[in-house]
Structure 1
């Protein structure tokens, strides 16, 4: 792994490169859903599906700022979904080896977040086991 998985993740998400995106994640990585707050997506297989669907739904994604240098970072982004502008603050917790262990995304405003949820719904519904696993605590 490169010394800076966060930089690689930023570039990969902007380019839509899911393989590089996945290489930045720790094996036990997890993402806490910004829509439900209760669903937690865990592991490489489930995160590949989720991240492909989520970042594949956005256009013009650009990370504008990175805050922090230690094991917790915050990335700020702007993107579009349909006709709407969306902003994201993504809190990343890094594993000891520097790879991303936990994502906590914060998306706004409400209308584009709702559109994102509508687009993700059918894509994730094709994977009912993923949703069952994400609903476990």
Structure 2
């Protein structure tokens, strides 16, 4: 397991956003699982997004890691409010082994909808993040 992935797993399970940011490349980006079109880029915007997202979850446990090389998949179970959530997170690593891309796949639909409702107020406090995420690459 790469050091960045180990740091990411521990940081997200314990809510340590600073450690999480150190696992990411400076130009890291996350493709929104809600829209499929929004792409959140850079540590500053990802700090806000990932703080809200992982801060909303309880009982997060990464259960499996698949792959080696520059592309990995992490599987997780968690809860948000009264709902169970499963995640398959596709990670791309840069040449230095830091996480460069994050592509979360969440289910079930009802839980994903609940997560969107929980995240919206926090993201609306930072309208620039949504505006930047909506720009084409």
User: In which range does the TM-score fall when normalised by the shorter chain?
Assistant: over 0.9
Deviation, 1:87, is: 0.1
Q: Deviations over 1:15-49 (max 9, x none)?
A: 00000000000010000000000000000100000
Deviation (angstroms), 1:116: 0.4
The CA deviation at 1:122 is 0.5
Task: Determine helix, strand or coil for the equivalent of 1:6.
Answer: helix
1:48-87 matches, cutoff 5 A = 48-87=47-86
Give the CA deviation at 1:69.
1.4
Aligned to 1:4: 3
Q: Could you give the per-residue CA deviations for residues 33-81 of structure 1, whole angstroms, max 9, x where no partner exists?
A: 0000000000010000000000001000000000011100000000001
- Size of the alignment, in residue pairs? 135
Partner of 2:33: helix, strand, or coil?
coil
Say which SS state the counterpart of residue 89 (structure 1) adopts.
Answer: strand
Q: Deviations over 1:79-112 (max 9, x none)?
A: 0011110000000000000000000000000011
SS of match in other structure, 1:66: strand
Does residue 45 of structure 2 align to residue 14 of structure 1? no
State whether structure 2 residue 94 is matched by structure 1 residue 95.
Answer: yes
Partner of 1:23: 22
Give RMSD over aligned pairs.
Answer: 0.6
Query: How far is 1:4 from its partner?
Result: 1.5
Residue in 1 aligned with 2:118? 119
Runs of 5+ unmatched residues, structure 1 = none
